[in-house]
């Protein structure tokens, strides 16, 4: 049985419509309970700040929580290095998302930076309805494959027949814009002025392999 196998490809550019703010709290203390209490106090302060910025209680999500021991390597009088207990580190990775609004982003960052919570901050520009984008890429890949198969069959004087096989390994598509957004912590404390930016479009590709019988 004669067959034709083609790889269909889909490409799309999407404008970011969602801001994802990453907040990482890390508190170290030689007393484990104190480290956890301080981390909880920082978390409560973050919740209060976000509440005052118009967020709901459940908007702040936890992606990771850990308590670990930390050591530092120090030399002795003979120049030999040893691990010395530094303390217990309580780490809390959090995130909050909201529709693309650079004015609101600046206000939120300014208030967080001025707080005692002092988390590490990261900013991502992404897509709210990522699943619809993935589905559109699949439709585009299938349409591209059909078009290629029809052209190949027509050029060879054959006719495309029954679809025999589809091979598709859904990739982990990066839905983040490549644009960077960084402000020094001291600048954030000094001013919550919004920076008007238009994040770069997110460029995505996907592909699948199709095999048809040819007559």
**Domain range summary for the chain, segments of one domain joined by +:** 1-17+128-215, 18-126
Fold of 18-126: Alpha-Beta Plaits (3.30.70)
Q: Residue 9 has what pLDDT?
A: 96
Q: pLDDT tens digits, residue range 72-93?
A: 888 877 778 888 889 999 999 9
In what order do the strands lie in the sheet containing 120-126? 61-75, 81-99, 18-29, 120-126
Q: Tell me if the domain spanning 1-17+128-215 has CATH number 3.30.1490.20.
A: no
Nearest Cα neighbor of 164 from 117, 111, 211 is 211
Nearest Cα neighbor of 5 from 146, 148, 210 is 210
DSSP string, 187-202: HHHH--PPP---PPPE
Looking up tokens 């920082």 gives 42
* Whole-structure pTM value: 0.79
Q: pLDDT tens digits, residue range 31-75?
A: 999 999 999 999 999 999 999 999 998 899 999 999 999 998 888
Helix, strand and coil content of the chain, in percent to the nearest 5, comes to 30, 40, 30
| Percent of the chain whose pLDDT exceeds 90 | 66
51 in helix, strand or coil? Answer: helix
| Mean pLDDT of the residues in the chain | 89
Dihedral angle sign, alpha carbons of residues 148, 149, 152, 155: negative
Q: Residue 191 has what pLDDT?
A: 57
């Amino acid at each position: 049985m004669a067959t034709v196998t083609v790889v269909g490809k889909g490409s799309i550019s999407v404008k970011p419509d969602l801001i994802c703010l990453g907040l990482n709290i890390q508190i170290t203390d030689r007393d484990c309970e104190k480290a956890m209490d301080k981390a909880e106090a920082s978390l409560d302060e973050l919740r209060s700040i976000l509440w005052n910025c118009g967020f709901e209680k459940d908007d702040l999500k936890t992606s990771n929580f850990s308590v670990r021991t930390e050591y530092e390597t120090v030399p002795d009088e003979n120049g030999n290095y040893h691990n010395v207990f530094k303390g217990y580190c309580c780490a809390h990775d959090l995130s909050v998302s909201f529709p693309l609004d650079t004015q609101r982003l600046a206000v939120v960052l300014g208030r967080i930076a001025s707080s005692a919570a002092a988390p590490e901050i990261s900013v991502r520009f992404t897509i709210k309805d990522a699943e619809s984008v993935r589905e559109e890429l699949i439709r585009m890949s299938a349409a591209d494959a059909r078009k290629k198969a029809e052209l190949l069959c027509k050029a060879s004087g054959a006719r495309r027949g029954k679809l025999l096989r589809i091979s598709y390994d859904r990739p982990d598509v990066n839905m983040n814009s490549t644009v960077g957004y960084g402000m020094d912590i001291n600048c954030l404390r000094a001013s919550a002025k919004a920076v008007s930016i238009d994040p770069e479009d997110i460029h995505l590709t996907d592909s699948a392999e199709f095999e048809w019988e040819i007559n």
